[in-house]
Structure 1
Amino acid sequence: MQQSLSRGSSPLALLMRGVSRLNLYLAGFSAFVLLAATAAVFCEILSRLFFGKSLVWVVELSGYSLLYMTFLGAPYLLEKNRHVAIDIVTEHLPPRLQMPLAFLVALFGAAICLYAAWYGLAVTLDQFQYGSRETTVLAPRSYLLTWVFPLGMVLLSIQFVAQAVACLKR
């Protein structure tokens, strides 16, 4: 989290501390999902090796796990600046241009994430309203898979706004 936003007892500081805590919990859950998916794949390998039978649900579950890991873990990574960043261009800019560009990139990231969250929420609510199911072996309700997308996008947009504000304070 941007330290300047989490200091003090203002409503914004309290909100950012709460968001940071939520990001940490979701990242922990994301790590648990990774561990569970890895264990399931390991069991699949053992099942094929010793029993000659495949656990048909493992591949599907692994795919769902990737969705959860990505969108629940990304806000934490962005908060801690541990996400993938391509900064070859910005590193070679004059220092006086680096901060304004970082500010604009953060605002653009926030806008894109909010836009994606809005449409992701619309899709998720539509799936919930109509009771959509996936056409797979496990056939889960679709909204149980897609709800992580709008949540992750909202949390990412909050982190991008925090980055933009931090740029203004430097």
Structure 2
Amino acid sequence: MINTVYKALLYGMAGISGLTLVWIMVSVITSVVMRNLGLQPFAWLFTSAEYGLLYMTMLGAPWLVREKGHVHIELLTAALPEQPRRLLSRSVATACVLVCAILAWKGVELVMINLQRGDFDTRAYYYPRWLLTIAFPLSFGMMAIEFSRFIFGEDLMHSGEAGIHE
């Protein structure tokens, strides 16, 4: 049950990330067309694209970790024998979990500060700041979970094959 809910959240966040990319494209094209027609683009178009960049990046990142879609270099791991490669890969995944856990914790602190202060982002409209910063603990926490799969699971983060494999 928990696994099903977690997967639904993970893939739902990735879907929202993809839709956000489409929205950013639409908002940029709309702004450019409006400018070329001599019109002033709506202020919220630019602001929503900025917010979209944050949400798209943060919400899509845990799925990218699961799919090994993040950038990493296999030059060293391709040169190592099986056992040292496994050890190095699991060590790198451990470091990733630690960094993500720290960033998730700091994200929780930031959200709590935003809630306590009642902070708002006030560029094009009043937008509660915690709605922006909530993406940090959620995404970094889920990335920590996804990286931990490479520590404790059979699948390694590094394939040991240098070059592009698609």
Kindly indicate whether residue 44 of structure 2 is the aligned counterpart of residue 57 of structure 1: yes
- 1:133 counterpart = 2:120: yes
Gaps of 5+ in 2: 157-166
3-state SS of paired residue (1:84): coil
Alignment correspondent of 1:68: 55
Aligned to 2:164: none
For 2:4 and 2:72, how far apart are their aligned partners in 1?
Answer: 24
Does the residue aligned with 2:120 lie in a helix, a strand or coil? coil
Unaligned residue ranges in structure 1 (runs of 5+): 1-13
Q: 1:79 aligns with which of 66, 71, 75?
A: 66
- Cα RMSD, aligned residues only: 1.8
The TM-score with structure 2 as length reference comes to 0.86
Q: Please, which of 26, 44, 52 is the counterpart of residue 39 of structure 1?
A: 26
Identical-pair percentage = 28
**Partner of 2:6 in structure 1?**
19
Matched, 1:149 2:136: yes
Amino acid paired to 2:33:
L
Q: Alignment length, in residue pairs?
A: 156
More helix by proportion, 1 or 2?
1
TM-score by length of 1: 0.84
Query: Aligned partner of 1:66: which letter?
Result: L
Secondary structure of the structure 1 residue equivalent to 2:128: coil
The code of the aligned residue for 1:111 comes to L
Runs of 4+ in structure 1 deviating by more than 6 angstroms, as ranges, are none
Aligned partner of 1:110 in structure 2 is 97
